[in-house]
Amino acid sequence: MRLKRNLLILLLLLCVAVILGLLKGAVNIPAANLLLKDNQAIFNLRLLRIIAGVLVGSGLAVSGIALQAILRNSLAEPYLLGTSSGAGLAAVSAVILGASRIYMPLAAFLGAALSIIIVYNLARERGAIADKSLILSGVIISVAFSSLIVFLVSLFGNEAMHEMNWWLWGSLQIYDYKLLLLVAFPVILGVCVIYLFAQDLNAISMGEEEAIHLGIDTQNIKKILIFITALITASLICICGIIGFVGLIVPHMMRLIVGPNHKILIPTTCLAASVFIILCDLLSRTLFAPVEIPIGVITAIIGAPVFIILLKKGKRIS
């Protein structure tokens, strides 16, 4: 079956990416020596980054798929509902208030959660969610919070600015592996749940009414999926900051290759996004070693031209 073949190819690519990710880095260690006890710390660091990469890639890409289906809009992406600016605002505020950096992830998570709650309530009309309202509220809150961030940074400069750098461009450098484990739960769970709703996503992506005619409880499913994508996104922002373009580009590309059937799209996108992120992280670590380029910059540099090419190809994108 075509699905099995695609999955196998992607799995192979993933193995290659993982191996490359372990072998290469800022410090040059020949492959034979990589597993020596002396190099264990560096090996573990790289492994941690790869695990984070898989989580980030799958989490953001599948969240992107879910939002694109719910909003029937190919330009939707995980940060659309204001989670990114909410997290950034909370992080900057925490820095300014002098909180220790161990509270950063918590602050970011709360910030993201707060913005999704605001956006959701703004978009609600008599208990139903209108797609356009959701997008509009998301954009408004994003802009409002981003402006607040700029305001705070302009007043309190230095440290706030450093913190912003991290949030804006993200990093797979995980210091706290316990936090990574903690975050892995909601992300993996969330991705699996979205996959469970593949059938519903197929129907909803055709139209709200069409979906109802096929027996899909669209309102409740939309609420559940919005909550889950927010959970995934907020959890990932906690540990990795904001990494753009993954949630937008990879779903697009995979839709062109395997089609819009979510039962196939979701698992293949998980694998493809993981490969993409791991390779981007590799570039960020090795291009100007030992200087590390933030991963968000790499995804943007690769993502932007790819996006333009996709737009020009036009035909298969709605």
Partner 1 sequence: MNKIIFISIFICLFFYYAAAAEPRYISLAPSTTEILFALGLDNEIAGVSTYCNYPEQAKNKTKVGSFSSPSIEKIISLSPDYIFCTGLEQAPVIAQLRQLNIKVYVADPVSVEELFNTIEEIGQITHKIKEASLLIEKMKSEIEEVSSKVKLIPQEERVKVFIEIWHEPLMTAAKGSVVDELVNLAGGVNIAHDLIRPYCNFSAEKVISLNPQCIILAYMDSQAPLKLVQQRFGWNKIDAVKNGRVFNDIDPDTLLRPGPRITRGLIETYKRLYPGK
Partner 2 sequence: MSALLKINNLSGGYYKEDVIRGLSLDVNQGDFLGVIGPNGSGKTTLLRLVTRVLPVKGGEILYKDRNIARMNLKEFCRKVAFVSQDISTGFSFTVMEMVLMGRIPHLKRLQYETMKDIEIAREKLKLTDTLSLKDKRIDELSAGERQRVVIARALAQEPELLFLDEPTSHLDIGHQVQALDLLKKLNRKNNLTIVMILHDLNLASAYSNRIALLDKGIIFKEGSP
Binding site for partner 1 (CB under 8 A): 25-27, 41-42, 44-46, 48, 98-102, 104, 154-155, 157-159, 162-163, 165-166, 169, 171, 173-177, 241, 285, 288-294
Q: How far apart are CA 31 and CA 12, in angstroms?
A: 20
In the complex, minimum distance from the CB of residue 273 to partner 2, in angstroms, rounded to a whole number: 18
Question: Residue type for 189, please?
Answer: L
> Is the separation of the CB atoms in 238 and 109 below 8 Å?
yes
Q: Choose among partner 1, partner 2, none what residue 288 binds, the Cβ cut-off being 5 to 8 Å by kind.
A: partner 1
Alpha-carbon distance values, 285 to 25, 166, 245, 257, 296 (Å): 6, 15, 19, 29, 12
Closer by beta carbon to partner 2, 40 or else 199: 199
Closer by beta carbon to partner 1, 48 or else 75: 48
Q: Choose among partner 1, partner 2, none what residue 229 binds, the Cβ cut-off being 5 to 8 Å by kind.
A: none
Buried b (16+ CB within 10 A) or exposed e, 137-160: bbeebbebbbeebeebbeeeeeeb
Q: Choose among partner 1, partner 2, none what residue 293 binds, the Cβ cut-off being 5 to 8 Å by kind.
A: partner 1
Q: Choose among partner 2, partner 1, none what residue 261 binds, the Cβ cut-off being 5 to 8 Å by kind.
A: partner 2
Q: Choose among partner 1, partner 2, none what residue 174 binds, the Cβ cut-off being 5 to 8 Å by kind.
A: partner 1
Closer by beta carbon to partner 2, 107 or else 191: 191
Closer by beta carbon to partner 2, 101 or else 213: 213
Run of H or E residues at 40: helix 40-71
Name the one residue in this structure whose structure tokens are 């559940």.
224
Closer by beta carbon to partner 1, 7 or else 96: 96
Q: Which residues contribute to the site for partner 2 (CB under 8 A)? A: 69, 72, 74, 196-197, 199-200, 202-203, 205-207, 209-210, 212-217, 255, 259-261, 263, 315-316, 318
Q: Choose among partner 2, partner 1, none what residue 290 binds, the Cβ cut-off being 5 to 8 Å by kind.
A: partner 1
Taking each helix axis as running N to C, give the angle between helix 104-123 and helix 131-169, from 0 to 180 degrees, rounded to the nearest 10.
160
Classify the phi-psi angles of 140: left when phi > 0, otherwise alpha if psi is within -120 to 50, otherwise beta.
alpha
In the complex, minimum distance from the CB of residue 184 to partner 2, in angstroms, rounded to a whole number: 23
Q: Choose among partner 2, partner 1, none what residue 41 binds, the Cβ cut-off being 5 to 8 Å by kind.
A: partner 1
Which own/partner contact pairs does 313-316 have at CB distance under 8 Å and 24+ positions apart? 313/256, 316/255, 316/256
Q: How far apart are CA 37 and CA 17, in angstroms?
A: 23
In the complex, minimum distance from the CB of residue 157 to partner 1, in angstroms, rounded to a whole number: 6
Closer by beta carbon to partner 2, 131 or else 292: 131
Q: How far apart are CA 152 and CA 275, in angstroms?
A: 37
CB atoms within 10 A of CB 41: 9
Closer by beta carbon to partner 2, 44 or else 220: 220
